[in-house]
Structure 1
């Protein structure tokens, strides 16, 4: 081994570059973040060859003083921190003082800047990776800074050979610009590649303009199918947009989360959001969101990783609980009346939330079919308790019938309208003010039953009823042990199980609400859920999963004939139930076909 010695400045910079400059997208991120910290209100990015050949970033920020310019390309030189106190409460995006020096060490860099309004007072600093000698000379330049990076990794071929195709590298670069544009609505951005404009985003200084920017970056389908978030508690603030559960993705590619304006990917944040979607998202799907968390900078450490993509919260439990509770409640509060929106394209409206383009809020109004509103008052004290409603069921899966109201021109239709007929014993056809509503009756009733079971479980516990003749079921030894281990769970669910032998169980009592269900199959499913979930430290998740299984068994099945009053009772329950837009497994429970869409199907008006 060689003797200990100091690294040359060039080698030290190239090592630092390995941490900061991974690909052209890394260069854009560091330079644009500097522009934002400099107070720029417009940033123009020009790229050639996917960013490998050239990256040019121009801003109208405050610029750099001519005397400070050589230091801008030196390591550990920055204007953003002075003392340890500054480092413990970082409010800027870039603060390490390594970015420009690292970029200059692996490219041919030219930096033009002017800190005054006199365009003739500009200066230019040039540096090439090999020698790191900074040459400064006067040059005309308006107030602001232009960073021109050419021939990235020209002197580090080992790094350059790991770059992907031009298209792939530009896709990464474009994604970085999109994230930064979502972080700062008060800044105009433009991005061009090989002379072609790819993004042109003006300043978004109103709610409607912000929604247009989000729609441009995330797609119009996203902004049409979201819930607006705006919440504050205990010094924490959360705003932005979350996609409805039925608007989900096969990959986690439409997820943007910002902490004090910095885009991050954090395990704690991801877990909190995943938990909020736990019982409304289809298996294997990923939610879509654009969310902004504001927090005291002193309570979050952004210096965890060189790329600053990760953060560490001082009170991670509080942040997790705040994110989960805020999103969980926002998703639960969506009702059919909020989701109905007129659309010119064929699109299930269970996936859509109507956003007011001026306020950004989800519409809460019922549809007009005359004068008087029939939208159920969810918070009404006259609403019977879940157990009372469930106990009125005269048979397994039977709905409590209500009379069909007489329709007149003076009354207003409920959001899901009035039932017309039943199709193949599976779907309910209903007419509302907009057109035709189709309801999957099992999926919808499953969600209603599930929510009522959860409410009953949380408030008074699930009532049970002893069987006159205990029911014996044959199981495995492992399932008998599971029944013993989780006896308290079963009792809490209204199920009393007793081991009869090493491979059999006796069912002695069942939940009152589900006395007509197939209890043998129910017990087997519950045991299967317990085996999959594991130990008792996950009781909360187990109970919800088990309640979901119970709800599935207690809901109306396919080929069950319902009367018109029963169908209308189900429609009213959907309107009053949380998360009723999807079943326990994340599938949509209803969809809307407007008259416009029906006319298109039949070519009317052509």
Structure 2
């Protein structure tokens, strides 16, 4: 094929692919334009997860009528004038590509009026067509309406995720900018329903309280650091408040949300030995730095930056977060083990499916099944055990006819609760009303996921009802969960469902039960009385699969008499 110059509409669609990846990308670009225009109120409306409609209205400066046609041309911008300006960028946008890209793959309508103008102007572009402009009545500010996104690029639509996932990404974008600009009032409507709102009073903790609940927001520790070169503020969680993934680590540079593996590593290093392995903190850090010391022009979506001195940034973030933690909370430090031995599974597939392995044992362990999967097992019953004691408030020591057993009390209790729940679910699960119902406050994305699970949870003996914006009331629990915090128990279902992009298709009830049991089971380090330990052993003996927890981790290590004799040299070397 001969070399040829692409048609303008083709070139525009290629460029749009870098800027507009999904509906959330459109929302991001339009919010940035509104903020750069000095808006103090921004209203976003989406239909069909942004595929049918995205409308962003603001009360900013507006666009003059004679400049409006320029706004939809590529590389037309009011934010920089020369190449030198790229090294002192103080605005969120600067390339002049967003509106042109959006106009090439959607039906775009821009209505704007400056404060000095007597009338507003409306501009219409459809799929990169010649813009049409006309005078119209309009309030001060700008309204951008994007309809039928990707209508002329159907292949792009096929690669979009499900509506709940796309809505979740839109929510995340709006929340990030609401936190970065807490004095701007945001309102997000999704399919006619209020999904998020902020008051614009400057209080980030108030915004987070609307997302995660007042109790958790109250625990967050304020970060406040300033020197001649940097200003770092934000909120971080104490070591006792963690999540099962790192999605709640949010970083901002000059109020721009970014993704940076180096700074994320610095945050995690600051929490090293303070939280358990496999748990992650909740962090919102806002870094103010001289624009000349950071390059924001390194990523098509401006999601990454490059620092002039990355090593200095790593050390600074680690120091500030660690110092804030030490000053702001009572810490219990978990000692780090130097180079602990790690069992390596024989196959790469198994290794990638499961990173948690038994460490420091002298006996080899079988491959650990994929989490969330309850696999059939044979001959798993254990003999009657005689209780001996407890080690480190974590492991129960027991003697059987064939040797010694070390039992992980948390994993064992998970198994006991899981099988007890399954047995009752075969009949009618009795519920117990709570004297004081528990309130569960979630982000809008979490709430959308949770609503899908409510019918299943109610069928399992819970009673959960909506109780305001993104808030739910837990009124009853299965009777054998008496004394458990209902909100804490059901939150586990949301945290784990967020790990999957689509709802689990089969055995959803079992997986929900397993996650709840994991959350409410006794914890490692929790002291149990001799009677409680013996009762746990008796219940474990009655289980159908006592040797693993519902997620596949071993509940016990068996040291046979033969192994003990070999270890002590009574039968030769092992």
TM-score, normalised on structure 1? 0.56
**1:4 alignment counterpart:** 4
Q: Give the distance between the partners of 1:123 and 1:257, measured in 2 at CA.
A: 38
* Alpha-carbon displacement from aligned partner over 1:305-352 (angstroms, at most 9, x marks no partner): 01011000001111111101111111122444xxxxxxxxxxxxx8xx
Q: How far did residue 529 of structure 1 move?
A: 5.7
Q: How does 1:373-522 map to 2 (within 5 A)?
A: none
Contact 1:244 1:331 in 2 (8 A): yes
**1:56 alignment counterpart:** 55
* Alpha-carbon displacement from aligned partner over 1:455-502 (angstroms, at most 9, x marks no partner): xxxxxxxxxxxxxxxxxxxxxxxxxxxxxxxxxxxxxxxxxxxxxxxx
Query: In the alignment, which of 183, 186, 200 is matched to residue 189 of structure 1?
Result: 186
Q: How far did residue 8 of structure 1 move?
A: 2.0
In structure 2, runs of 5+ residues without a counterpart are 345-390, 395-522, 528-574
Q: Give the distance between the partners of 2:524 and 2:74, measured in 1 at CA.
A: 55
* Alpha-carbon displacement from aligned partner over 1:115-151 (angstroms, at most 9, x marks no partner): 1255x5100000000x521001001111110000000
SS of the aligned residue for 2:246 comes to coil
**2:125 alignment counterpart:** 127
Contact 1:117 1:142 in 2 (8 A): no
Structure 2 residue 322 is matched with structure 1 residue 322: no
Q: Give the distance between the partners of 2:291 and 2:232, measured in 1 at CA.
A: 15
Q: Is 322-331 or 70-79 further displaced after alignment?
A: 322-331
Q: Give the distance between the partners of 2:189 and 2:177, measured in 1 at CA.
A: 16
The number of equivalent residue pairs is: 357
SS of the aligned residue for 1:325 comes to helix
Contact 1:204 1:213 in 2 (8 A): no
Q: Give the distance between the partners of 2:339 and 2:329, measured in 1 at CA.
A: 33
* Alpha-carbon displacement from aligned partner over 1:419-458 (angstroms, at most 9, x marks no partner): xxxxxxxxxxxxxxxxxxxxxxxxx6x86xx69xxxxxxx
SS of the aligned residue for 2:42 comes to strand
SS of the aligned residue for 1:286 comes to coil
* Higher radius of gyration, 1 or 2: 1
Contact 2:44 2:55 in 1 (8 A): yes
CA gap 1:558/1:283 in 2 versus in 1, 3 angstroms: closer
CA gap 1:14/1:275 in 2 versus in 1, 3 angstroms: same
* Alpha-carbon displacement from aligned partner over 1:186-233 (angstroms, at most 9, x marks no partner): 10000111211112211123xxx3321121134434312221110113
Structure 2 residue 246 is matched with structure 1 residue 248: no
Q: How far did residue 530 of structure 1 move?
A: 11
Q: Give the distance between the partners of 2:40 and 2:525, measured in 1 at CA.
A: 45
Question: Runs ≥4 in structure 1, deviation > 6 angstroms?
Answer: 587-591
Structure 2 residue 255 is matched with structure 1 residue 261: yes
Contact 2:243 2:281 in 1 (8 A): yes
Q: Give the distance between the partners of 2:343 and 2:323, measured in 1 at CA.
A: 30
Contact 1:24 1:169 in 2 (8 A): yes
Structure 2 residue 305 is matched with structure 1 residue 311: yes
| Structural RMSD (CA) | 2.8
Structure 2 residue 280 is matched with structure 1 residue 286: yes
CA gap 1:198/1:528 in 2 versus in 1, 3 angstroms: closer
CA gap 1:10/1:63 in 2 versus in 1, 3 angstroms: same
CA gap 1:224/1:72 in 2 versus in 1, 3 angstroms: same
Q: How far did residue 2 of structure 1 move?
A: 1.4
**2:46 alignment counterpart:** 47
